[in-house]
Amino acid sequence: MTTKTALVTGGNKGIGLEIARGLRDVGFEVLLGARDPIRGKEAAEAIGATAVPLDVTDEDSIARLAEGIEVLDVLVNNAGILLERGAPPSGIPVQMLRDTFAVNVFGVVAVTNALLPALRRAPAARIVNLGSGLGSLAYAADAEHVYARNPLLAYNSSKSALSAVTLAYANELRGTSIKVNVADPGYCATDLNGHAGPRTPGQGAVAAIRLATLPDDGPTGGFFDEEGAVPF
């Protein structure tokens, strides 16, 4: 049996590392993408993965990686940033939105487009984008919901945009064997939030691993946490 290959961007720590570990545990050859080659190598060696240098905001970095991958069974777009801390939307500099979208949205599109040929060569590829309940417009529109009281303009809107990006790819690829979904890891303790979340990175990885290993009759174009569907 041919070993399947998975790439996890931003995989050297936090939820990304746990996704990489989980996919390795179920038999994937895991490519662990990291901007820092030293940290990437250390993390990959710790879990039995292969480190690959990848900066999702650098076209040359993405192109070099894509050139070395002939077939890819799973792409997990996990790399993400959160730059704002406590400021209201009216106090967020526009440059902060640009920097956030560069990683959380444009980086996902750039990596996905570069690797789509390799994904098409796989028998039944899966693309999983790491979203957030903070990006749910349904939650944001409910004044009583806790997420409506957490107005992180740049981060939240980037995750809303990521859902739209996911749906666009899912619709384009709906006639193929490729499935594209958003995973909501929940509020996990990671570097992203100063380790403030009540959930562990391992718990946050569950939904992504499940979506990465969907059967042929699994969903596409959906938003899921470990318990089921999340409203867009």
Longest Cα–Cα distance of the chain, Å, equals 55
pLDDT for 196 equals 67
| 3-state SS string for 163-232 | HHHHHHHHHHCCCCCCEEEEECCCCECCHHHCCCCCECHHHHHHHHHHHHCCCCCCCCCCEEECCEECCC
Q: Is the dihedral of CA 133, 139, 143, 146 positive or negative?
A: negative
- Least Cα distance to 128 among 11, 25, 207, 13 occurs for 207
Whether the predicted pLDDT of 191 surpasses 70: no
In-domain check, residue 124? yes
Mean pLDDT over each residue of the chain, to the nearest integer: 94
Residue 91 lies in a domain: yes
CATH code of the domain covering residue 196: 3.40.50.720
Q: Which residues are catalytic?
A: 155
The pLDDT, as a whole number, for residue 29 is 98
Question: What contacts 24+ positions apart, CB below 8 Å, involve 134-139?
Answer: 134/159, 135/159, 135/160, 135/161, 135/162, 135/163, 136/160, 136/163, 136/223, 136/230, 136/231, 136/232, 137/232, 138/231, 138/232, 139/231
Contact call for residues 103 and 57 (beta carbons, < 8 A): yes
Domain with 201, as residue range(s), is 5-227
Q: How confident is the model at residue 225 (pLDDT cuts 50, 70, 90)?
A: very high
Q: Kindly state whether residue 106 falls inside one of the protein's structural domains.
A: yes
Q: Kindly state whether residue 118 falls inside one of the protein's structural domains.
A: yes
Can you tell me the mean pLDDT for 150-178?
96
Q: Decide if 40 is inside a domain.
A: yes
Q: Report the C-alpha gap between 105 and 92 in whole angstroms.
A: 18
> How many structural domains is the chain composed of?
1
Taking each continuous run of H as one helix and of E as one strand, the counts in the chain are: 8, 8
Q: How buried is 227 (Cβ within 10 angstroms: 0-12 exposed, 13-18 middle, 19+ buried)?
A: exposed
pTM of the model: 0.94
Contact at 8 Å (CB) between 115 and 6?
A: no
Amino acid, res. 170: A
Answer whether residue 101 is part of any domain. Answer: yes
Q: What is the pLDDT of residue 63?
A: 98
Read off the pLDDT of each residue in 131-144 and give the average, rounded to a whole number.
94
Q: For the ranges 33-47, 137-151, 164-178, which has the lowest average pLDDT? A: 137-151
- How far apart CA 19 and CA 43 sit, in angstroms, is 12
In a domain, 232, yes or no: no
Q: Is residue 19 part of a domain?
A: yes
Report the 10 Å Cβ neighbour count for 168: 13
pLDDT-based confidence at 201, cuts 50/70/90? Answer: confident
